[in-house]
Structure 1
Amino acid sequence: MTVSQGSWGAEALWLQLRELLPGLSVEVVERCSSTNTTLLERARVDVRPEADHSDVLVQRSVESKAFGRRAADIQPCLLVAEHQSGGRGRLGRGWSSAPGASLTFSLSLPISRADWSGLSLAVGLALADALDPLAEGAPPRIGLKWPNDLWLMDGPARGRKLGGVLIETVSAGRVRLAVIGIGLNVLPIGNVEASTGFACLQELDAAATAQQTLHRIALPLVQALRRFEAEGFDGFRAGYARRDLLAGHPVRTTQPGVEDGIARGVDAHGALQLQTGAGVVAIHSGEVSVRLAPDADAA
């Protein structure tokens, strides 16, 4: 069900982002199972190559009722759901949200880069920098927990989960789309059972709302994606290091054959560098679940 676009400032978002994302559509719905799933399903179209090497989309989407008319679902789309009934996190985990208390949205767009390594880290950094600009000499309030979580920091290697990033991909002919799902806790939610604890943006900004947060992060996010397209993760590595809450602390992985060790930051491709008794091991996103060891985990 589509809701009032005006209450979310959809037109203002579209005007702000359309030069960086030609063909953009901005849509807000009251409820859906998962914004990532919705955009993935839309993009699975039948693309038929023509003799002149152009692509003809055999299946086309319904035109957006929001701002920006779309010719096809391989064009960029920002889809916001006021409530996700089946939100997903990494490795198929569920994501708890509540109407009005959470910001849940996905952005789909083609990325013209062969190596997407470290994309989730670059996205997390863009969000953290937009929500928590770093003051000279002050520790960050928002830390990044490899590979895709944002935490509100209560102290060194201590904090609670504030949000997460889920990146999925789909191919449509010669085009490869990234579907970037973002969930952020904005207001307090009662009776949340989370092993990582619960944090919300109102702890940083008492006036924070889901709508205001979306407008705060949308442009920095898109700018970061365009920068990633040009530079890859290496251009974000120094910024990530300033917010890396695992660096220098003992961590445990679930990767078979890899012992516990000390996190030593990430490499130019975003792989976690784990110092073990056997040397430094590179841990790649999607292979493991990394948790702070008990003696360093106060969450």
Structure 2
Amino acid sequence: MREGPLSATGVIAWDVESLWERLWAVLPGISVEVIARCDSTNTVLVERARASSGWPDQPVTAPGALADAADAATPTPPLGRRAVDTQPCLLVAEDQMQGRGRHGRPWQSARGASLTFSLALPLAPADWSGLSLAVGVALADALDPPAHGAAPRIGLKWPNDLWLLDAPGRGRKLGGVLIETVAVGRLRMAVIGVGLNVAPQALDGLDTGYACLQELDAGLTVPATLHRVALPLARALVRYEREGFAAFAEGFARRDLLRDRPVTTASPAVPQGIALGVTATGALRVRAPDGHVHEIASGEVRVRPQDGAPT
């Protein structure tokens, strides 16, 4: 556990110690690191995972044993991060220089206004389908707790975006998720990257609008946002490993931004249609103009412009 160097423009109080203690109970062996800057937190952790291949002396959290180990583990603070490791790691960058979204698109962020972090851990679910949707549900529920009879303020745009809703089916982009996996011997490491807009900032070239969490809670800071989402995310990943996307399907349906909306897709089979929600494995169902329903497991989907919503 360690905090990175301080920025010349001031100190951000992350309270790493208390966060690490709470995360250890769910992901034993985890380290929490805050660094001043890097190109991409996902890239750093993916490269560490690749470097771990063939390294025989590393401690390993066995697949499927995350929650079981938590009950017996005793926290022992890591005394510095090793360059190669397959233990869970939460890596936060105060300033991410080359953040990435899906398909290599740049993710713009600013120190003190954006939360950018990645969580790497070994996972062994029976089926990897719907992981990005499960992560989205965990983040949205932590930031916008479900309330009986109240419509959600945070919606989920399949497959990996969080939007602040201005009206049903309409809103502006609030954050995104990027998931990468790396084989390390008998393990597969999942690296879950998260970017969240916390405070107002001027960004160029956005075609999805800009939303930030301070529109929901004016007093929210970047460290407070991390403390709000990190533990629910860790718990969600343990649950996902055991139960798969099924455990999150209802939560996603409640926040589904695309459902019943006209959409365009990158699939040649259904370039446009009406989104009908997702399957039990998280694939998007789209009804084509000819009435046939297609399932899209990956790719780009946009709300059609004539619907009046950002794409």
Contact 1:192/1:198 (CA < 8 Å) preserved in 2? no
Alignment partner, residue 51 of structure 1: none
Alignment partner, residue 126 of structure 1: 138
SS in 2 for 1:7: coil
Could you give the per-residue CA deviations for residues 3-32 of structure 1, whole angstroms, max 9, x where no partner exists? 369821111111001121111110000100
Alignment partner, residue 63 of structure 2: none
**C-alpha separation in 1, matches of 2:185 and 2:42:** 20
1:193 aligns with 2:195: no
User: Would the alpha carbon gap of residues 212 and 113 (structure 1) be closer, same or farther in structure 2, given more than 3 Å must change?
Assistant: same
Contact 2:52/2:85 (CA < 8 Å) preserved in 1? no
SS in 1 for 2:217: coil
Give the partner amino acid of 2:34.
Answer: V
1:296 aligns with 2:307: yes
SS in 2 for 1:26: strand
Question: Shift of the alpha carbon at 1:295?
Answer: 2.0
SS in 2 for 1:261: strand
Give the partner amino acid of 1:22.
Answer: P
SS in 2 for 1:190: coil
1:281 aligns with 2:294: yes
1:100 aligns with 2:102: no
Contact 1:14/1:68 (CA < 8 Å) preserved in 2? no
Alignment partner, residue 44 of structure 1: 50
Could you give the per-residue CA deviations for residues 96-155 of structure 1, whole angstroms, max 9, x where no partner exists? 001110000000000121311100000000000000012211111000000000000000
**C-alpha separation in 1, matches of 2:204 and 2:163:** 16
Alignment partner, residue 121 of structure 2: 109
Alignment partner, residue 142 of structure 1: 154
Q: Which of 36, 39, 52 is the aligned partner of 1:33?
A: 39
**C-alpha separation in 2, matches of 1:161 and 1:17:** 28
**C-alpha separation in 2, matches of 1:149 and 1:167:** 12
Alignment partner, residue 70 of structure 2: none
Question: Shift of the alpha carbon at 1:226?
Answer: 0.5
Contact 1:150/1:162 (CA < 8 Å) preserved in 2? yes
SS in 1 for 2:86: coil
- The unaligned stretches of length 5 or more in structure 1 are 49-54, 59-65
Q: Which of 190, 194, 199 is the aligned partner of 1:182?
A: 194
**C-alpha separation in 2, matches of 1:67 and 1:250:** 51
1:250 aligns with 2:253: no
Contact 2:12/2:223 (CA < 8 Å) preserved in 1? no
Q: Which of 93, 97, 104 is the aligned partner of 1:81?
A: 93
TM-score between both structures, scaled by the size of structure 2:
0.87
Q: RMSD across aligned C-alpha pairs, in angstroms?
A: 1.9
Alignment partner, residue 240 of structure 1: 252
Question: Shift of the alpha carbon at 1:278?
Answer: 4.9
TM-score between both structures, scaled by the size of structure 1:
0.90
SS in 2 for 1:83: strand
